Structure 1
Amino acid sequence: MTARHAQVCPVMGTVASAHVIGGAAGVELEAAIEGCFGMLRRADRVFSMYDSASDVQRIARGELRMADADPWVAEVEAACDGAEFETRGLFSAYLGGVFDPTGYVKGWATERAAREHLLPLLKVPGLQAVGLDVGGDLQVFTAEESDWTWNIGIVDPADRTQVIATVPVRNGAVATSGTAERGAHIVDPRTGAAATGIRSATVIAESLTRADVWATAIVAAGADLGWLPRAAGTSGLLVDTAGSIRRWVEGVTVEVQPA
């Protein structure tokens, strides 16, 4: 049986879990996992909209200039501007005129932590795969010589005890956004109103940062599929409020399953 090592950490208002397949637990592995969690904790300190001492909250109150904040702030702001351009305004970090990169940071921080701290572990002999999951969004990697495949379940937003699809991934990311867990918390930047037409959108891509942005953007778009040509390099599945399931692969809708 292939050895598996998993470790969890409460962070960013949810739970992060690091997974290592194959190999043996050791100082190198433990340091890599702690490096992941440390990076996520730093992201939380800098970007939390719930911590009055975070950099973004201090910026919003006019107590801190963006130029004097943690360097990650300027990096994320520039990336959010790029995401807004790519999605044609379906994603924005400036809802209500306040810089709030909540819809970007979790995916970005998770991918960054996984690439910087877990991916190098694949050089360790016998280690087959590594992955980092934060609140159900995950970035995974598999050693080239390994036959390991991550089988990622997509939960039914109408019944979270059920899985409506399973996605095999060797190297890549899966992100899901929607109303199932937190209600209509995603705002359509074009109207300022809560997005309610899509119950859940799951996006599979090489990068979790990009998958997370597009999952949020697709929920904001609602029934309008005009975003498909712009979401190059993604595949996924969305469930509307009627329960109908629509799948797409690389910008092409390939199946519609009625409720």
Structure 2
Amino acid sequence: MSGSLYVVSTPIGNLDDLSRRALEVLGQVDWVAAEDTRHSQTLLNHLGIKARLISCHDHNEAERSPELVARLRDGESGALISDAGTPLVSDPGYRLVRACQDAGVAVVPVPGASALLAALAVSGQPSDRFLFEGFVPSKGAARENALRRLAGLDVTSVIFEAPHRVVSLLESLAGLVDADRELTLCRELTKRFETVRRGPVAELLEWVRGDKDQRRGELVLVLSPAARGEQLSEQDRALAKALLAELPVSRAARVLAAHTGLKRQELYNYLEAIDS
């Protein structure tokens, strides 16, 4: 194991989800780089692992990486973990991984639990293509613009959100999507009060408003793909109708595709539907 950095996934709730391989690696490495050493110490104590913990988080990763790379080049072995789940997924670590690769140090994945993939797997939404957005901006125009962009995507979107902001996020989405647009809310995955509920955005908004328990814990939201018409802004829909009044469907689709950047065939199908 000497001279390698192991990127180790840890449980997102249920401790039995730690793999046997992850347990062996954490028990054998010389040190463990962790986002929050206090949180990770509790996990290692529970597992009966005595490993030296080294803090590695957003605020010190750039400075800490050369030190850790030097240790690895001297023959030590190390593991990188996050507070929960798979490191680097909305968590620190990529700077350390890049530094190791640039220095010729082996970086070895030890896969396991991931809130992103767990939510996608149980969401009931299409999973052949998806976008992982992570956390959207917390407020202002940046937040609204991010949600507007997600509302127009023709692929499933996975969003992390803080519990105290979930109502405002659902309110914004409800104003951006069609009434039957689905979303799956996944809360406290693998934990005692795990919740998975799928339904129209407006329906889930009313449910979360009325049940304060749904505004607690870790949340992952999985938004279904936009229908063809939803990918167009209100202005573009108005333009589509104006084009149809003057042009055949095929020519209108060509002009609208050039204007929006969307696929011409999908726009043709949309225009044909509203023209019939």
Question: TM-score, normalising length from structure 2?
Answer: 0.22
| Greater share of strand | 1
Higher Cα Rg, which structure: 2
Higher helix share: 2
Q: Structure 1 length as normaliser, TM-score?
A: 0.23
